[in-house]
Structure 1
């Protein structure tokens, strides 16, 4: 009897110890509900205009001031809303859904059409800080790429960058003395009336843009043959977050807390990369949005990161370059 009571007391102790540790650390692991495999880079929406992503092991460590309700999404899975205070486990299971996306097509050369040729659209490069745009965790950009040749295949894109350090006074260090990488996710969306619409195919690629290794641009090559539809497509770039020295993404809260006399204010963290802007219609048609915002509508860039209140600006684009093949 005493032995049983001792075991029960130990179980109660460990139960409350686990809940105490979990309440402080808020470590979550997102997994497939059927295979139990972890889901890397799952979206953790804090439902307050901010969010972050799980790491390559499907894990994320949330701070104690995280909102009590969050929403977890992953491509091909049913989204799930989580009430933090009601969790009894640190493992979150997502239910797979049928995937209706098309596979990446491989286009073969046809007889009688001649030899397939490569074509290049050059990027617009400059280092003018007054014509620069920024990145933050969850920021997503969409760049329009038209189809100008028969059976066009996209081979690479070149993103023009400006390596300047603007951190809003939120940190005393700069990337010049403390270099870091930013992981981005590359994917493709369909074009409907000159707007990004739906995910085009299953292709995705994670790329690390490192502050100490880039100059005025970065070129991203595609291992698959990405067919450009007749109506064109949108290449999307989503900012995942910072990486460590080994190039591994390490989740962090997307905002810093600034102490004000009467309250605490969340300040969005600005991170690299910064993009070189050009006045429309130059460059490729560019849209942006934040994947964690309630506003899902795509917007045009109407002013640079550093701007004058009294000045009127035209629509601005990022002058990406790209290489494609076709007939």
Structure 2
């Protein structure tokens, strides 16, 4: 009897360790859904909509807040968790001026170069709690389509003493990122321009920048500009599968409280002082309704980057600018 009770107890603790987020209509998994804990912390589902949660792992969490592009948010008590959670799709609110039919006219390809830097001290340390968005104005009155985005990344040398050598061996990493595109809502990121889930895996083999081809998403530049955002999801295995990484470090405060500090993921993201205006915004993704904040002095940021006047993440773009008919 004691053995049976012990087994039941163990099963109770781990029966819903692996949970799958699904579309309530199609029943397909919802890839890379955001799982917020309501305390500023959280995690992400993988490409199959799966994540791991148990009360043993997270004893202080009593509610989960599940969100994903194109779906209504779901709030659920951890006491009512099952091994499958269903999100209800919501109607798209895409601006027809931004997303339109494909253009077959002749075009000229224009490029805005990324700002590269392998100086570790000039880099943002990515954590899963922060989403970075960079604003880009429309450069012409002509129709423009976004073809590619170049995300600069900093490569770290295995040997610190050889870090300034271009041929030094680099530290290995395999990291998954999520990308979003927003319209410009009075100077801050507004509605998304596409509800497609866009992710990419970066490794040290990509060099100083990862070039993401977005031509197939038919993103046409709004007249008041747009934002490109980047959000780290975590490390992956060799096949690109998101791993259940340890997202937080637990540190005991002087009062004896346990504080969870977000883990930094590689690669680092180089910031630049070569852009005159302050175009970079930051958002904490696990806080519902949290506002975008411009990355500048006086906005509550404590960063050595600001002390060096490094205000912007230097994303590069490739446009297709169409000729007049």
Q: TM-score range by the shorter chain?
A: 0.7 to 0.9
User: Given the alignment of the two structures, is residue 194 of structure 1 paired with residue 187 of structure 2, yes or no?
Assistant: yes
**Alignment correspondent of 2:304:** 307
Contact 1:124 1:319 in 2 (8 A): yes
Q: Name the larger-Rg structure.
A: 1
Map 1:284-303 onto structure 2 (within 5 A).
285-294=279-288, 296-302=290-296
**Alignment correspondent of 2:161:** none
Alignment root-mean-square deviation, CA: 3.1
Give, in angstroms, the shift of residue 192 of structure 1: 2.1
Superposed CA offset, 1:254-278 (max 9, x none): 2122356734331210002311111
* TM-score normalised according to structure 2 size: 0.80
Give, in angstroms, the shift of residue 101 of structure 1: 2.9
Q: Tell me, which stretches of 5 or more residues in structure 2 are unaligned? A: 158-168
- Quote the Cα distance in structure 1 between the aligned partners of 2:151 and 2:86: 36
Query: Structure 2 vs 1, CA of residues 128 and 97 (structure 1 numbering), >3 Å: closer, same or farther?
Result: same
Instruction: Find 2:44's aligned residue among 44, 49, 53.
Output: 53
Q: How many residues align?
A: 298
User: Given the alignment of the two structures, is residue 119 of structure 1 paired with residue 113 of structure 2, yes or no?
Assistant: no
* TM-score normalised according to structure 1 size: 0.80
**Alignment correspondent of 1:41:** 32
**Alignment correspondent of 1:239:** 232
Query: Structure 2 vs 1, CA of residues 202 and 76 (structure 1 numbering), >3 Å: closer, same or farther?
Result: closer
Query: Structure 2 vs 1, CA of residues 98 and 238 (structure 1 numbering), >3 Å: closer, same or farther?
Result: same
Map 1:140-151 onto structure 2 (within 5 A).
140-149=131-140, 150-151=142-143
Query: Structure 2 vs 1, CA of residues 203 and 34 (structure 1 numbering), >3 Å: closer, same or farther?
Result: closer
**Alignment correspondent of 1:105:** 100
Contact 1:52 1:253 in 2 (8 A): no
Map 1:265-276 onto structure 2 (within 5 A).
265-276=259-270
- Quote the Cα distance in structure 1 between the aligned partners of 2:62 and 2:248: 17
Partner SS, residue 175 of structure 2: strand
Instruction: Find 2:211's aligned residue among 191, 213, 219.
Output: 219
Partner SS, residue 227 of structure 1: coil
User: Given the alignment of the two structures, is residue 161 of structure 1 paired with residue 192 of structure 2, yes or no?
Assistant: no
Instruction: Find 1:208's aligned residue among 197, 201, 212.
Output: 201
- Quote the Cα distance in structure 2 between the aligned partners of 1:178 and 1:245: 15
